[in-house]
Structure formats: C-alpha cells, structure tokens
C-alpha cells in the first residue's frame, strides 16, 4: 500500500467511512492515539495519513483498506454538495450524515466498477429548461412533462417501472436507502457520474415513485445543484421545487389520460365516487392523495376534495383492501441499479475483484453474493415439451465468433 494518493481523496473517504460507521471524530482519534485536531486535518486532506493509520481506521470503521485507497477511481464529491443542500433545509442535519456518506460510497463504487471494466454509461438526458419569470408555472411544467413523455415514447399510459425507465433509457444512477422519515429523496450531479438519485426505501412504493419523478425534474431546471427533498418542507416553496412537484404529477399522470379516465367513468356511471378515485390512483400507481390533487388541478373534481376526504376519516389503505386493489409494486428490491449489479458480477467473473469485494459491492455476505452471481448467469427457457431448461450465460462470451 502506498500513500501517494491525493490526501484529500483519502481524507474524504476516511471521513465518509467514519460517518457511515457512526463513529465520532473523538472516538477515531482515540483509536489512533492522536488528537482530534490531527484527525480533522487527516479528513480535510491537509495532513496525509500513514499506511498504518489507514489500516487502523479502515478496520475501526469496518471497511477494507481498498475502499479507502482506490488506485483506479478518484473521489467523487457528492457529499459536500448534499451537505450544503441539507443545511438549507433549516432542520436537523446530523441524521443525514450517514445517508449522505452511503450515497457517496455507492457513487464511488459505481464509478470504480465502470473504470475496472471500461464500461462508461452514456447519458441520454433531456435538454435543460429555464423556469418562466411570468405566466403559469403549472402550464409550463405540464408542457415539459408532455414533451419528455414524447421524447421517451411513453404515450399517455401509466409508467409501469419508473426506476428501470430512468436508469436504462435516460442514464440516471438510482439508489435507495433507509433515509430519515422526513426525507423523501436526494439528488446530485457531478461530471464523473452524471445525475444520481437516492430515494427513501422506508416510504410506500407510491411515495417512492413520486419522489423519483420529483428528483428527475431537477435534471431539467437546475441540473448541477444538489437537492434534499423533505416530505413537508417549511416556509415558502421556491420555484424550482414547485416546478419539480408539478412536473412529477404531470409526468406520472398525463392530463390526456387522466381526463379520459374521468370522462369515461362519468359517462358510464353518471358520477365519480371515492371508489373511482381509488381506481385512478391504482391505475397510475400513485397515492390517492396525489390522484385527488391532480384531478383537482385539472378541474375535474372540486377544490378541497382531498381535505374533505381527510376530514371524513378516509383511510386509503383500508379503502384499497375493501375494493380489492393491489398496492403499487416496489420499483426494485435492490438498493442499487441492475446495471451496477451486473457490472459487479462481471468484474468478479473476469477476476478483477475478489469474492469478498463482490460481496462488499453488493452490500451482502459471500453466500448471497454467490447466489446473485448464479442468478445473473442463469436464464430460463422452455424446451419443446414446455419444460424449464436453465441457460447459462457467460458475460465474456463473444457474440461475433462462430458458435459450435
């Protein structure tokens, strides 16, 4: 091991690892037998850590030395931007230290896998827009959402898997984690990676979809500024956040489609009932609240409809069960993109990383890492008799060479 790496990069990773482990600077300094100011200097990069100090701190934080000293991947500065965004919220920031450190770690791991395999991902993002200084922001968001749906060839139908769409068709890097309940999602964009999003996996699937669409809106209006979205932000909502909320609802529930749903229901039954509202929410995979507010915004139901339902003690979960409606399925069970998982498995198969490193990249133990590897390598097809036949797929197998 060498300490020739930029001390700022090593210090940044040591600080992120400490915060993710829940250790304080005082505890880390005591573990090394140093003063707290010396540890602060190491984390800031003004004092290079010795090899022995890196080994000691990595073990103390439950990390490998390789995670701290990465010869192939430079540090990616997501954390400073996110901390600045968190400080703008005006609430407690301490509970975001670990999630931000985890976000930073995911981003660096993704970049390292790409560098190991020479597999940079292209970004097919939309053109940036400037928010109007006058006129209707809602109409502007509606127009941007409609144009983006057309660009992605979505028509006006519900988006069945928003996360997969934004990962595969746009090139967003989307992670999920158990964030504090008040936080819906985080967004940051850096040159080394492009646009990165983390959503709160503690929230219901409908809320996660709305948060993901909300964070995607920032790609349009303020792409290079980090954001931390809270569930109930206090004070006056800035224009960019209002645009993000309006865009998210228009993108998930296009006006042409939801109006048609409402009109056909009225024509068929002569009314539009609470049960119909629940059907709309289920159809578009959004919350009943989001569906009610969207219909209100479009002028289909009276102002204050959602407030009225709340006052009457309406419970969406109970209503959904009584109507036999299934809850929206989770966008993904994994905390990282499918592409990230396949890159990690491929790096392991090509012997660029060890099994232990594979488990670390996949945030699991070795047994589960083996299972994931086997799952990635195996596909199923049907033979002439209709029996399931496993099909092994090797990542390194050429598609251009003659097959025998």
Task: Tell me how crowded residue 220 is: count the other CB atoms within 10 A of its CB.
Answer: 23
DSSP 170: I
Domain regions of the chain by residue span? 1-71, 74-252, 255-323, 338-392
Longest dimension (CA), the chain: 77
What is the value of pTM for the model shown? Answer: 0.80
Which residues, other chains included, contact 293 with Cβ-Cβ below 8 Å and sequence gap of 6+?
249, 306
Strand order in the sheet with 183-190: 173-177, 194-200, 183-190, 227-230
Residue-wise pLDDT for 72-103, tens only, equals: 555 566 777 888 887 776 655 677 888 888 88
> In the prediction, which pLDDT does 2 show?
44
| pLDDT higher at 16 or 386 | 16
Lowest mean pLDDT among 59-63, 262-266, 352-356: 59-63
Element (H, E) at 177: strand 173-177
Can you tell me the distance from the alpha carbon of 42 to that of 218, in angstroms, rounded to the nearest whole number? Answer: 34
> In the prediction, which pLDDT does 84 show?
80
> DSSP readout, 285-296?
T--HHHHHHHHH
Task: Tell me how crowded residue 252 is: count the other CB atoms within 10 A of its CB.
Answer: 24
> In the prediction, which pLDDT does 398 show?
60
Can you tell me the distance from the alpha carbon of 74 to that of 292, in angstroms, rounded to the nearest whole number? Answer: 47
Strand partners, 173: 196
Angle between helix axes 205-221 and 137-151 (nearest 10 degrees) is 100
Lowest mean pLDDT among 123-127, 333-337, 354-358, 393-397: 393-397
How many Å from the N-terminal Cα to the C-terminal Cα in the chain?
Answer: 45
Can you tell me the distance from the alpha carbon of 258 to that of 137, in angstroms, rounded to the nearest whole number? Answer: 20
Can you tell me the distance from the alpha carbon of 120 to that of 193, in angstroms, rounded to the nearest whole number? Answer: 9
Q: How confident is the model at residue 186 (pLDDT cuts 50, 70, 90)?
A: very high
Domain at 74-252, CATH class = mainly alpha
Q: How confident is the model at residue 16 (pLDDT cuts 50, 70, 90)?
A: confident
- Average pLDDT (205-212) is 94
Please check the confidence at residue 21 and state whether its pLDDT lies above 50: yes
> In the prediction, which pLDDT does 388 show?
47
Please check the confidence at residue 257 and state whether its pLDDT lies above 70: yes
Residue-wise pLDDT for 267-322, tens only, equals: 999 999 999 999 999 999 999 999 999 999 999 999 999 999 999 999 988 888 89
Can you tell me the distance from the alpha carbon of 131 to that of 183, in angstroms, rounded to the nearest whole number? Answer: 25
Token look-up 């800031």 returns 44
- CA gyration radius, the chain: 24
* Measured CA angle at 237 (ends 154, 149), to 5 deg: 5
> In the prediction, which pLDDT does 394 show?
57
Please check the confidence at residue 66 and state whether its pLDDT lies above 80: no
Residue-wise pLDDT for 116-156, tens only, equals: 888 888 889 999 999 999 999 999 999 999 999 999 999 99
Nearest C-alpha neighbor of 148 from the set 25, 270, 252, 293: 252
Angle between helix axes 7-21 and 36-44 (nearest 10 degrees) is 120
Question: Which tokens sit at 245?
Answer: 């909320």
| pLDDT higher at 159 or 22 | 159
CA 342 to chain centre: 17
Average pLDDT, the chain: 86
Q: Would you tell me which CATH number, out of the four given (3.40.50.300, 3.90.1150.10, 3.30.1360.150, 1.10.260.40), belongs to the domain 1-71?
A: 1.10.260.40
Strand partners, 208: none
Can you tell me the distance from the alpha carbon of 196 to that of 215, in angstroms, rounded to the nearest whole number? Answer: 9
Task: Tell me how crowded residue 159 is: count the other CB atoms within 10 A of its CB.
Answer: 20
């Amino acid at each position: 091991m060498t300490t020739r790496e930029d001390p700022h990069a090593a210090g940044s990773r040591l600080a992120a690892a400490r915060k993710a482990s829940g250790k304080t600077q005082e505890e880390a300094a005591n573990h090394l037998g140093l003063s707290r100011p010396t540890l602060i200097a190491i984390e800031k990069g003004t004092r290079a850590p010795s090899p022995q100090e890196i080994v000691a701190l990595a073990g103390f934080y439950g990390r490998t030395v390789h995670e701290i000293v990465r010869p192939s991947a430079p540090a990616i500065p997501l954390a400073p931007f996110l901390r600045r965004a968190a400080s703008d919220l005006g609430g407690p920031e301490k509970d975001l230290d670990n999630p931000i450190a985890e976000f930073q770690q995911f981003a660096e791991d993704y970049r390292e896998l790409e560098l190991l395999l020479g597999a940079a991902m292209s970004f097919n993002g939309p053109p940036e827009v400037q928010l109007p200084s006058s006129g209707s922001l809602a109409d502007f968001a509606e127009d941007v959402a409609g144009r983006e749906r057309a660009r992605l060839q979505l028509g006006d139908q519900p988006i069945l898997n928003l996360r997969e769409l934004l990962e595969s068709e746009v090139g967003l890097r989307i992670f999920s984690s158990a964030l504090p309940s008040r936080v819906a999602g985080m967004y940051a964009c850096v040159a080394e990676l492009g646009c990165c999003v983390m959503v709160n996996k503690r929230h219901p699937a409908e809320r996660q979809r709305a948060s993901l669409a909300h964070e995607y809106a920032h790609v349009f209006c303020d792409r290079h500024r980090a954001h931390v979205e809270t569930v109930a932000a206090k004070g006056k909502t800035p224009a960019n956040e209002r645009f993000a909320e309006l865009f998210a609802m228009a993108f998930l529930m296009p006006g042409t489609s939801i109006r048609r749903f409402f009109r056909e229901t009225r024509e068929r039954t002569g009314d539009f009932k609470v049960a119909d509202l629940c059907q709309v929410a289920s159809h578009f995979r959004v919350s009943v609240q989001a569906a009610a507010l969207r219909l209100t915004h479009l002028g289909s139901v009276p102002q204050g409809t959602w407030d009225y339902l709340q006052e009457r003690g309406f419970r969406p979960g109970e209503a959904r069960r009584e109507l036999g409606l299934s809850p929206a399925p989770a966008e993904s069970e994994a905390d990282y993109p499918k592409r990230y998982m396949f890159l990690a498995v491929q790096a392991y198969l090509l012997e660029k990383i060890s099994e232990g490193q594979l488990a670390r990249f996949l945030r699991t133990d070795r047994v589960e890492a083996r299972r994931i590897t086997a799952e990635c390598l195996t596909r199923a097809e049907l033979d002439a008799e209709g029996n399931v036949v496993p099909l092994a797929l090797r990542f390194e197998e050429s598609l251009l060479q003659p097959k025998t």
